Chain A
Amino acid sequence: MRCETLLILACGVPKLAESNSSTPLLQVENLHTFFDTPRGTVRAVDGVSFTINKGETLAIVGESGCGKSMTALSLLQLVPEPAGYIESGRILFNGKDLLDLTWDQMREVRGSDVAMIFQEPMTSLNPTFTIGWQMVEAMEIHDTTTGQQARKRAEELLSLVDIGNPAQVMRQYPHELSGGMRQRVMIAMALSNSPKLLIADEPTTALDVTVQAQILGLMRKLQQEMGMSILLITHDLGIVAEMANRVAVMYAGHFVEYATTRDLFRTPLHPYTQGLFASLPARARRGQDLAVLEGTVPDAANWPPACRFEPRCPYRWDTCAKVPPKYHPADAVWPSRCHLYDPEITDRPRVGAPRGKVPSGSELQSAEPKAETPLPEQVAS
């Protein structure tokens, strides 16, 4: 994997200045994306920081309205304007801030260095042109190849995503293909300019479970062959477990937990993360009520003032409604935005804390994140 990454670095045509390999491919710092609405300013993305290393998959998991898709769109500066805008933050791609680029320079980045695939491939493809035409267009815009060469490359890409009859698919229109085939075409188009980062926003939500398994397997295979990084936006913890190296749990515009996938699935720290796991239906829970997070995600124009999860939290106490919790309190090994892990919160409950899931001191030591998957420094937001 590592040599393949180096190979890509050596052979790929760098479109942005390459920096040395120790810097992460993508480093997002304190990103704020707001919307001006008649009801006031909606803080859709409210202080999000994360890194993605080369060849790695980061998953952002959360429920509808938590801001995970807006985070993804912000990276490519595709936030719906004029209501939406990136208020502040830095998006360092290979060490260079994408927010400093002009509109034309940003257009170069989209689809070449950073490519994106969406949930519903039918709405991302133009129904009036053939698959081949659209694939060639995507390459010609970025001057990778043109004409017959581009058609040849398009056929190669379609074979790469396991389409058996590429020449025929090239002549077809989007409506003639099944959902799984369309998503394969979208992935082929996204790969056409050898992106270093693939942003996948709920790529399999509209697909059957068997087709989902094929598409996820395909993404992993291509990642290993091409050494690209993946930012995966999903609401499905099963997909996170299958795909991600690290995972950020997003709630009400910011991250509430950020850990390696292994650590998060072993010992979820934040009450929201624990609630997500507990609410999953399973055979072992037959005949019993599933754990329920009461209420719904709060209104984005009106986040609760202190802890945003407080109104739904089973462990809440007075302080939670008054003092915003730190992103990375001292007793949590990885960032977990909750007073339960903050020794400075003197009135945190000793009994009634989520004992069953919270690791003891010795477990915390063994759960120390490894050096090759560094977690970010604590970011005050």
Chain B
Amino acid sequence: MADTLLAVRNLKKYFPLRKGLFAPRAYNKAVDDVSFEIPKGSTLALVGESGSGKSTVGLMVLDLLEPTGGDILYNGQSFAERKGKDRLALRREMQVVFQDPYASLNARMNVRETVTEGMVVHRIGANAAEREERAAALLQQVGLPPSALDRYPHEFSGGQRQRIAIARALSVEPSFIVLDEPTSALDVSVQSQILNLLRRLQRDKGLTYLFITHNLGVVEYLADAVAVMEAGRIVERGTVDEIFDHTREEYTKNLLRSIPSLDPENRKLLLNAD
């Protein structure tokens, strides 16, 4: 068994619903007692419908949202034990790629600025020339030409922008990346390019992924383990084979039943239709 890189223990996030001195306390339990571990170099897929709390878990794991309760351990050390600079250093270890590459890149920054910004913050590279060299190498790794450095996000297609977002995430040499629906906004033929890239980067750099998605086809292809979330709780955890072939939960069964089949002679969704 490989070492655990990230462990989440009894994580909770309650959003207060009503405010006021005499209002009764009511909460939206967005995340309610969630626990899981991700071994180094592996991929955990967090699946569930919109509103199930999976993106909220992602934000807390990235230390971008304060949990109401519970603990997150990175490399065995609790977030709570880390203070000041020690805590900020986590930002270099953990990166994120969001769903919408149209919204997640700063439209006023060219690719050079976008990719080198994190290096400046974390003091990677001795000078601007060295950082630029590294940025060009990163672009090459994600399949973009060095000439892309001087261009702006609007000049690229959705798939190319997602490559830029991945290059930006890689620029600070993280060991852990949260992928929040990274291919949902992309066309099928472009999705396969990005999935291949993510798989290759994981293999070459030993990256660990938390893959947040509702696309079960992608989960089957890429994930090592799966956690199914419903209404803030993890209802089931297991390997891809365990979840997809031997699920015990009605909620998961319903999710799996809802995937359209790719066989028009064996339709799945419309059992009562003749």
Contact = CB atoms under 8 A, between A and B. Distances in A.
Interface of A: 63-64, 179, 208-213, 216-217, 220-221, 224, 235-242, 244, 261-262, 265, 275-276, 279-283, 285-286, 289-293, 296-297
Given A240-B264, A289-B196, A296-B160, 12 more contacts: A211-B49, A213-B269, A216-B260, A242-B267, A265-B264, A275-B189, A279-B192, A280-B188, A281-B221, A283-B244, A289-B200, A290-B196
Contacts of B187: 63-64, 235, 297
27 contacts: A63-B187, A63-B189, A208-B214, A209-B49, A209-B214, A209-B258, A211-B49, A212-B258, A212-B260, A213-B269, A216-B269, A217-B269, A217-B273, A238-B259, A238-B261, A240-B264, A265-B265, A276-B188, A280-B262, A281-B217, A282-B220, A286-B220, A290-B221, A292-B189, A293-B192, A296-B159, A297-B187
Contacts of B268: 242
A239 B260 CA distance: 6
Contacts of B190: 63, 296
Interface string B193-216: 101100110000000000000101
Given A209-B258, A281-B221, A292 B193 contact: yes
Contact of B195 (A235, A261, A265, A281): A281
B226 to A, nearest CB: 12
Interface in B175-194: 187-193
A3 to B, nearest CB: 14
B104 to A, nearest CB: 18
A276 B190 CA distance: 10
Contacts of B160: 296
B270 A217 contact: yes
A252 to B, nearest CB: 13
Given A63-B189, A210-B258, A241-B262, A281 B270 contact: no
Contact of B254 (A210, A238, A291): A210
A240 B157 CA distance: 26
Contacts, number: 119
A289 B195 CA distance: 8
A242 B271 CA distance: 11
Given A220-B273, A281-B195, A282-B217, A265 B262 contact: yes
A296 B157 contact: yes
B255 A209 contact: yes
A209 B262 contact: no
B120 interface: no
B222 interface: yes
B261 to A, nearest CB: 6
A282 B216 CA distance: 9
Given A63-B187, A210-B254, A241-B264, A283 B270 contact: no
Given A265-B263, A265-B264, A63 B188 contact: yes
A286 B223 CA distance: 9
B265 to A, nearest CB: 6
Given A63-B189, A281-B192, A237 B262 contact: yes
Contacts of B159: 296
Query: Ordered nearest first, which 8 A-B pairs have the shortest CB separation?
Result: A238-B260, A281-B221, A279-B192, A213-B258, A290-B192, A63-B187, A283-B220, A293-B189
B90 interface: no
A293 B196 CA distance: 12
Contacts of A238: 259-262
Contacts of B218: 281
B230 to A, nearest CB: 11
B264 A281 contact: no
Contact of A220 (B221, B263, B270): B270
Contact of A282 (B157, B221, B260): B221
Contact of B216 (A209, A262, A265, A285): A209
A286 B158 CA distance: 25
B48 to A, nearest CB: 9
A286 B49 CA distance: 24
B264 A261 contact: yes
Nearest to B185: A64
A237 B189 CA distance: 12
Contacts of A239: 260
A6 to B, nearest CB: 18
B257 interface: yes
B50 interface: yes
A234 to B, nearest CB: 10
A179 B49 CA distance: 12
Contacts of B220: 281-283, 286
B202 to A, nearest CB: 11
B139 interface: no
